[in-house]
Structure 1
C-alpha cells in the first residue's frame, strides 16, 4: 500500500489555497447528505510534495483566537453541565430514594446498567466512523441522566395544577399520555439545543444529531429505569416477579424507546445544522419535538392491546429507525469518500489510499496490513484523522465559519503528514 502522496491530478482548480470559490464539480454531492451550494465550494489546498508550511497559508491571529475559543467552549460545556448535574442530584436522588427505598435503588441502579449498555453500544457503532468529542458525549449523557430528570420534576407539577381531575385513573392517563411526552421530550431535547447553539462546530449533520440524541435519551432512560425497577421491588407483594416483568418490558422489549423518541428530534436538528443559524436551530428544535412527542404518546397509550400494538406498530417503528440509521451511515461514508477524493486530486492521498480510507473493507485491509508490521495503532490514528479531515472539509463547504474550519484543516493536514510518516516508517 502506497503511503506517499501522488502528484496533483490535472485539472485541479486554480486556487490551491481555498481563498476563493471554484466551479462546483458534478460529483461534489455524492448523496443527499451534505449538499454543497455552488457559491460555497472551495478547492482543497494543493500539496506539491513540499513541507506543509509552504503550501498551506499560515493562520492569522484572529482565526487562532477563534480556535482557542472553540476549545475553551468544550471545557465550558463540560464544567457547566457538571455543575448543573450536581445541583440536579440534590433533587433527583432524594426523589428516587423516597420512591424506591435504599434496596430498590441499589437493585434498580445495577439493573439499569444493562439496557444502558445496549444503548451506548448502539451509539458507539453509529459514532464509530467519526467519533464525537468525549466531552460532548459526557455532556449529552450527564444532561440526560441528571439535568433533564430535574427539569422534568420541576415542570411536572405545573401540568398537574393546570388540570383538576376527580378520578385518579384519569389523572394517571393524563400524566402518561400528555404530561410525560411533552415535558420529558422537551427536557431531553433542550440539551440538544444547547449542543447545537454552543458546540455547533461539532454538531453539523443528522448523524451527529442521532448520536447526541441517543446519548441523552440513554441517560434519561437509565435514571427512569432506576425508578421503575426500584418501585417494582419496594411497592410489590411479589418483588421478584414484578421486577422481572418490569425489567422484561423496559430492559428487553424497549431499551431503545426513549432513544427513538428523542432521535427524531436529533435527526431534524441535524439537518438544520447543515444551514446553521440561531433561528433555524430553535425552529428545528420546536419542529423536532413534534414527532418525538407523538411517538412517546403512542407508546404510553398502549393499554390492554399492548402486545398487538407492540408487534404491529412499535416493532415496525424500530425497524424503520434501524433502516434510517443504516442509510445515514451509508450516506456519511459516501460523503467521506468524495471529500477525500478532493484531497486526492490536490495531492494529499493516492486514489488507492482513498478506497482504503473511505470503505469498511478498505479500513480492515489497512489495519491488517499495518498490524503485520506492528503499526496498527498508528494506522488507526491515520484512519481517524482522514475521516476527521473529510468532515472538516464538509464544514468548510457548508459556508459556515469557513475561516475557523480552514484553520482546523491546516492543522489536520500537518497531522496527516506526521501520521503518514509514522505508518510508513
Structure 2
C-alpha cells in the first residue's frame, strides 16, 4: 500500500453565493442520497503525513470507545436477558425434559451457525460492534421469547374470539406471527439508541438476522426437545423435525424479521423519530404476513415451499447482494472525496473500496507481519466513509464532524503503523 500523497484540500464551512454544487457521483446509490443543501467538502488533509509514527502494535490493540448509548443498551439487555431466563428456561425444560433439552440444544447449534455465518458475510464490510450483536442475540434468544410467553395469553383473550377462527388456526396463523414478530422487532427499536451504529438498511438486516437467529435457536431447542420427549420413536421424529426446521428453513425467522430491519434501516437514514416509529409499524406488516404464510402451509407443504418460500428466499438473497453492492459503491465515493482533500491517493481508494483490493492489501501486509494493522486500517477507512455519509445526510452534523476529525487522526496513526 502506498503512503498518503498530497492532494488539493477544501476549506470547510459556509460558501458565499449559496450551497456548494454536488460533485459528480455524490449520490452513488439509493443508500447514499445527499441533498445539495447538506453537502460539504471533506476536511483538508494536506498535512496528514506529518502525524506521529506509532509502534506497529498500537492500532491492533486499540478499540473504539463505546458510547454511553451502547453501554447502557448492552447493560439493559444483559439484565433483561438474565431476568428472562427465570421464565424461559423453566418453560423449555418443562416442555422438553432434561434429555430433550440437551439434544435440542446441540441440534439447534447447526441452524444457528448457518444464520450467524450469513450475518458475518453481510456484516464484514462495516462490522457492527460485538457488544451490539451480543445484545441482539440475547434479545432474540431470551427476551423476545419471554415477551412472547407473557403477551400471547393476553393477545389470545383480546383477539381470539373476535377472529372467528378455531383456537389452533388462530394460534398458528395470527397469534404467533403477530406476537413473535412484535417481540423480536422490539429489540430493533431499542437498537436505535445506538444510532451511530444503526444508520442504514444493511445494519437493520444484520441486527434483525441476529435477533431472529437467537429466537429460532431457543424455539428449535423447544421443538427438537419435544420430538425427543413426546414421541414413541424419538430418533425418527427428531430427524423429521430437524429436516423441516434445520435444513429446509433455517433462515425463515431471519427473513421474516429481516424485512422489518430493512424498512427500519431505510428510515434511520434521515433520523426522524416519527419516521422511525412509522417505519417500525410498517415493517412489522410484511414480517407478520410472511410468518403467517409460512405457518399456514399444510397438506401441500412441499408444493407451497417450492413455489412460494424458495422464491422468497432467493429474493432475500438478491436484496442482500444489492445492499452489499450499494454499500461498496457508497464507500468508494465517500473515500474519493477524502482523496480529493489529500487523505488518500486514488490507488488507495481502489484498494480500500473493493473486496479484491482489500484481500490484496491484507496479503501484502501479512508478508511484512502487519496484517492486524492493515485490517484495522481497512475497517477504520470504512467507518470514516460512513461517518461522512452521516454528515452529508444533515443529521447531527457537529457531533459527526467531531467524530470525523478523531477518525482522520486515527487513520494517520494506523497508516504509520502499517507502513512501519
With the shorter chain as reference, the TM-score category is over 0.9
Mapping of 1:17-56 within 5 angstroms? 17=12, 22-49=20-47
Residue 411 of structure 1 deviates from its aligned partner by 1.1
Show structure 1 runs of 5+ residues with no match.
54-66
Mapping of 1:22-171 within 5 angstroms? 22-49=20-47, 71-162=67-158, 170-171=166-167
Contact kept, 8 Å, 2:391 with 2:401, in 1: the verdict is yes
Which residue is equivalent to 2:372?
377
Show structure 2 runs of 5+ residues with no match.
52-63
Which residue is equivalent to 1:281?
276
* Residue 399 (str. 1) matches residue 394 (str. 2): yes
Which residue is equivalent to 2:410?
415
* Residue 358 (str. 1) matches residue 353 (str. 2): yes
Deviations 1:159-182 (A, max 9, x none): 3323567xxx93111101000000
- CA–CA distance in structure 1, aligned partners of residues 49 and 369 of structure 2: 27
Which residue is equivalent to 1:188?
184
- CA–CA distance in structure 2, aligned partners of residues 39 and 422 of structure 1: 38
- CA–CA distance in structure 1, aligned partners of residues 368 and 230 of structure 2: 60
Contact kept, 8 Å, 2:48 with 2:412, in 1: the verdict is no
Contact kept, 8 Å, 1:343 with 1:349, in 2: the verdict is yes
- CA–CA distance in structure 1, aligned partners of residues 267 and 102 of structure 2: 41
* Residue 179 (str. 1) matches residue 178 (str. 2): no
Mapping of 1:312-351 within 5 angstroms? 312-351=307-346
Which residue is equivalent to 1:253?
248
Aligned residues: 403
Question: Paired residue for 1:214, among 206, 209, 215?
Answer: 209
Q: Are residues 138 and 52 of structure 1, via their aligned partners in 2, closer, same or farther at CA, if it must alter by over 3 Å? A: farther
Deviations 1:272-330 (A, max 9, x none): 00011211111000000000000000000000000000011100000000000000000
Deviations 1:222-270 (A, max 9, x none): 0100110001111111100000100010001000000000000000000
Which residue is equivalent to 2:264?
269
RMSD: 1.8
Deviations 1:26-49 (A, max 9, x none): 310111112011111111000112
Which residue is equivalent to 1:231?
226
Contact kept, 8 Å, 2:112 with 2:214, in 1: the verdict is yes
Deviations 1:364-398 (A, max 9, x none): 11111112222112111111111111111111111
- CA–CA distance in structure 1, aligned partners of residues 377 and 160 of structure 2: 62
The 3-state SS of whatever aligns with 1:36 is coil
Residue 406 of structure 1 deviates from its aligned partner by 1.1
The 3-state SS of whatever aligns with 1:26 is coil
Contact kept, 8 Å, 1:29 with 1:36, in 2: the verdict is yes
Contact kept, 8 Å, 2:48 with 2:343, in 1: the verdict is no
Which residue is equivalent to 1:56?
none
Residue 133 of structure 1 deviates from its aligned partner by 0.9
- After TM superposition, the structure 1 stretch with the greater mean CA deviation from structure 2, 294-303 or 29-38, is 29-38
Which residue is equivalent to 2:61?
none
Residue 200 of structure 1 deviates from its aligned partner by 1.2
Q: Are residues 207 and 164 of structure 1, via their aligned partners in 2, closer, same or farther at CA, if it must alter by over 3 Å? A: closer
Q: Are residues 24 and 306 of structure 1, via their aligned partners in 2, closer, same or farther at CA, if it must alter by over 3 Å? A: same
